[in-house]
Amino acid sequence: MRLARPWPLGELVRDLREGRTTPEAASKRALARIAETETELHAWVERTAFLPGTGGPLGGVPLGVKDIIDLAGVPTRCGSALRADDAPATSDAPIVTAWRAAGAVPLGKTVTTEFAFFAPGPTRNPAAPGHTPGGSSSGSAAAVASGQVPLALGSQTAGSVIRPASYCGVAALVMTHGRYPVTGVTGLSPSLDSHGVFAATVADLAIAWPALSGEPAPVRPPRILVWSADALDVVEAPMRHAVTEAAKRLREAGATVSAFRDERLMAGLTDAHPVVMAYEAACERAAELAVAERLSAPLAQLLRTGAATSSDEYESARATIADGAVRLAEVFGSYDVVLGPAAPGAAPRGLEATGNPVLSRGWQALGLPVVALPGFTDPEGLPLGLQLVGRRGGEAGLLGHACWVERVLTGIS
């Protein structure tokens, strides 16, 4: 059975709009694909009864919802035994309400790692069996990569959307921090937690975003800074080659391409991010910290580290991030996007860990919108994703630029 078989959102939206299919038929297709693949993938926690969409641009598109996001009538278990007996949520999180208004139809909850941190869930990678799907939005990434649904919600505090998109070979958008409220989301770090969404391609994301926000994403070539991340010393040779090859093709296609040279800035932001994340997580998840012996080792360590972090250390890290935001805003005065590796390499073999989020930490600290771009593979045929980082609040422009990049790299006009 072919597990990696994404369901293009654009195709479904056209079929719904032109009457070639119905919301009921789309839901049945999704449930049939789940039934066909779920025994191997384990992407879902719970499915819900089908409720037809209420119109909107997406008009009945099946949607997966990460299990830290409240969905009315379903418990929010957060991948944790501590929440196993929780009552169902009484209302949708605002982000779910917004997607419903756009016409999306939630089919249920997708797997997350424990409280959206590092302890793996049961989900498998459709594109690379035996390799991690990433975390913490692993269920949503796998559900889209396997064609169970054409759209699924994630969240990112470090690299929880961009990394699984890269590993599973799909596209994803991390929204600007604060673009939509995180009310009804069980988060880790209020100054870092951001919403995300997965789809098969960037072109699909450029359909989903206007449906959600009302902002069109006009396709146009960008002015690009290429970030090698060499100073972090984690990028593997196949990923390095993918970035170099992408920059070459984009330059040949007419984009302005220059090197991003402020590696010290990104290294500083990368170091500041985990300080802020741990400190805020210890506050946000104080109830869980009180029973740390019942948590996985990675989450317990995060919370204990945060509890041991001084307010001076926290404020110093926040100051580093604030200074970095000012400096990056100056950079974006002359350029549109930063192109770089989405992960150190392809999905690591094994299911005991979720991979390294280090290449997302600095950008997430700044709260900038980011797109994961699929399309490259390593010598073994495993997916390699790139990331495009845009201006704060500039999701529409970023997606328009990313569509142009995708067209160049895939050769599709």
Active site residues: 66, 136, 160
Give the whole-angstrom CA distance, residue 112 versus residue 45: 9
CA-based nearest residue to 269, from 222, 316, 214, 330: 316
Is residue 135 within 8 Å of 164, Cβ to Cβ?
yes
Q: How far apart are CA 63 and CA 103, in angstroms?
A: 10
Burial class, 249, CB count within 10 angstroms (exposed 0-12 / middle 13-18 / buried 19+): middle
Closest CA to 207 of 405, 9, 5: 9
The β-bridge relationship of strands 223-226 and 256-259 is parallel
Residue-wise over 372-411: b if at least 16 C-beta within 10 A, else e?
Answer: bbbbbebeeebbbbbbbbbbbbbbbbbbbbbbbbbbbbee
Question: Using an 8 Å Cβ cutoff, are 234 and 344 in contact?
Answer: yes
- Helix, strand, coil percent content, the chain, rounded in steps of 5: 40, 15, 40
Q: CA–CA separation, 36 vs 32, rounded Å? A: 6
Radius of gyration of the chain (CA): 20
Dist CA 65 CA 111 (whole Å):
9
Contact 149, 329 (CB under 8 A): no
Backbone conformation region of residue 19, classed left if phi is above 0, alpha if psi is from -120 to 50, else beta: left
Q: What sign for the dihedral angle of Cα 33, 38, 40, 42? A: positive
- The beta strands (E) that lie in 55-212 are given as 62-66, 105-110, 151-156, 171-174, 194-199
